[in-house]
Structure 1
Amino acid sequence: MKEFKIKDLEVAYGDQTIIKQLNLEIPIGKITTIIGPNGCGKSTFLKTIGRIMKAKHGAVYLDAKDIHELSSKEFARQLAILPQSPIAPEGLTAQELVSYGRYAHQKGFGKESAKDQEIVKWALEVTNLSELSHRSVDNMSGGQRQRVWIAMALAQETEMILLDEPTTYLDVAYQLEVLELLEDLNRIYGCTIVMVLHDINLASRYADYLIALKQGKVIVEGTPREVITKEMLKEVYQIESDIVLEEQSKKPICVSYRLMNKKKLLEKELKVVG
């Protein structure tokens, strides 16, 4: 994959427009994280570029080709998407779930080939699940289950993985486990990662590129140092915060969150109305 572009994208639920004339180019071979307040359109954007939703206007292009011109299998060989809190069929083992990722590469009646089995084994190894391959996904911890889904995406042999809030409902240790796995997949295998995260500090720590959305529009995009600023926090989240560079990563983190003064908020809203 050489490029992934979004042009004049507009997405709506009925009469309500969620994404408004959005133009972006996702960096290839990098980790891109989308941040923004609840209801700003993060998940809608991810579903649209992952072909789960269809745009009202505009298009998404993979190597200059509209994603809706690709067959389902062709699209699945280039891009994998993991929705928020996916659910596996009851009783399915990790190996069985990961093997579903080979569907896009199978012909005829979908019988597993030696190569399919080899790729499934590799995906389980990369995600440190080899010893759990025959365990039911139902009986795994939240972090283990999330790794199984990521392994399934890897089994698709795609160059890009989209993830909608992959750390939701996980405690801190499991959040770090999942994010460090994604970081390894990017650094070692060159996989392009695009994900939605709520935690600003985790987004900054694990991203090469950040996109801050508000009301369906891109407010700012760039490196963590370019995006995580006091101005962005006020504009996007209506909060004030002290920002320091994290010692290990040298990336910005927010400390001492505060809601913006209500009087300032009211003055700002009146100015917008006026």
Structure 2
Amino acid sequence: MREFKTENIEVAYADNTIIKNLSIKIPIGKITTIIGPNGCGKSTLLKAIGRIMKTKNGAIYLDGKNIYELSSKDFARQLAILPQSPIAPEGLTARELVSYGRYAHQKGFGKPSEKDKEIVKWALEVTNLSELSEISVDNMSGGQRQRVWIAMALAQQTDMILLDEPTTYLDVAYQLEVLELLENLNKEHGCTIVMVLHDINMASRYADYLIALKNGNIVGTGTPKEVITKEMLREVYHIEADIMIEERTKKPTCISYRLNNRKIAVEAGIKKGIKVVG
């Protein structure tokens, strides 16, 4: 994969436009994280570029081809997407679920080939699931289940994985486990990662590139140092933050923050047509 970009896309739920005229270019071989408040269009954008939601206008290009010109199998060979809180069929073992990732490479209803089995084995090994491969996914912890879904995506052998809030409902140790796994897949295996995260500090720590959204519009793009600023946090999240550069990672970290009540009042007034003074 050499290029992945959107050009002036518009995405809506019925008559409610969430994203309008949005153009982005995803850095290949990097970890990109989409951040922003609830309802800003993060998940909608991810679903659009993952072909789960169709755009009303504009286009999304994968190596120069509109993604809707690709067959479902061709698209699945190049890009895997994990939605928020996926649910596995009851009773499946980790190995069985991961093997579903080979569907895009199989013909008809044929049995898994030796190559398929080797790739499933590799995906389980990379995600440290070999010893749990015959355990039912139902009986796993949240962090283990997330690793199984990531292993399934790896079994697709795609160049890019999209993840919608992969750390939701996980405690901090499992969050770190999942994010460090994704970081390793990027650094060691060259996988392009695009994910949505709520936690600003986690996003800064693990991303090479950030996209900050507000009301379906891009407010900032670039490295964590370029995007995680007092001005961006005030504009996007309505908070006043103290930011430091963490010594080990050299990434910005919010060490203290509070609500900017005036900013909230101004935006509420704009929506109602009221001018806020003072």
TM range (shorter): over 0.9
RMSD in angstroms over aligned alpha carbons? 1.2
How far apart are residue 130 of structure 1 and its match? 0.2
Written as runs of structure 1 = structure 2, the 5 A alignment for 1:22-61 is 22-61=22-61
The alpha carbon displacement at 1:266 in A equals 3.0
Provide the secondary structure at the position in 1 that maps to 2:231.
helix
Structure 1 equivalent of residue 158 of structure 2:
158
Letter of the aligned partner of 1:29 in structure 2? G
Give the CA deviation at 1:139. Answer: 0.4
**CA distance 1:265–1:135, shift in 2 (3 Å):** closer
Q: Deviations over 1:137-172 (max 9, x none)?
A: 000000000000000000000000000000000000
SS of alignment partner, residue 204 of structure 2: helix
Partner of 2:235: 235
Between the aligned partners of 1:186 and 1:179, the Cα distance in structure 2 is: 11
**Structure-2 separation of matches of 1:66 and 1:13:** 21
Kept in 1: contact 2:35–2:203 (CA 8 A):
yes
1:69-111 per-residue CA deviation (whole Å, 9 max, x = no partner) reads 1001000000000000000000000000000000000013231
Residue 137 (structure 2) pairs with residue 137 (structure 1): yes
- Equivalence for 1:199: 199
Q: Secondary structure at the match of 1:2?
A: coil
Query: Does the CA-based 8 Å contact 1:103-1:110 persist in structure 2?
Result: no
Give 3-state SS (helix, strand or coil) of 2:175's partner. helix
Letter in 2 for 1:42: K
Map 1:66-145 → 2, pairs under 5 A: 66-145=66-145
Q: How far 1:268 moved relative to its partner? A: 6.0
Q: Secondary structure at the match of 2:90?
A: coil
Q: Percent of pairs identical after alignment?
A: 77
Partner of 1:220: 220
Measured in 1, the distance between the counterparts of 2:35 and 2:263 equals 23
The structure-2 alpha-carbon separation of the partners of 1:196 and 1:264, relative to structure 1 and needing over 3 Å to count, comes to: closer
**Runs in 1 of length 4+ with deviation above 4 angstroms?**
267-274
* Residue matched to 2:182: 182
- For the residue of structure 1 that corresponds to 2:235, the secondary structure is helix
Q: Name the SS for the 1:143 alignment partner.
A: helix
Aligned length: 273
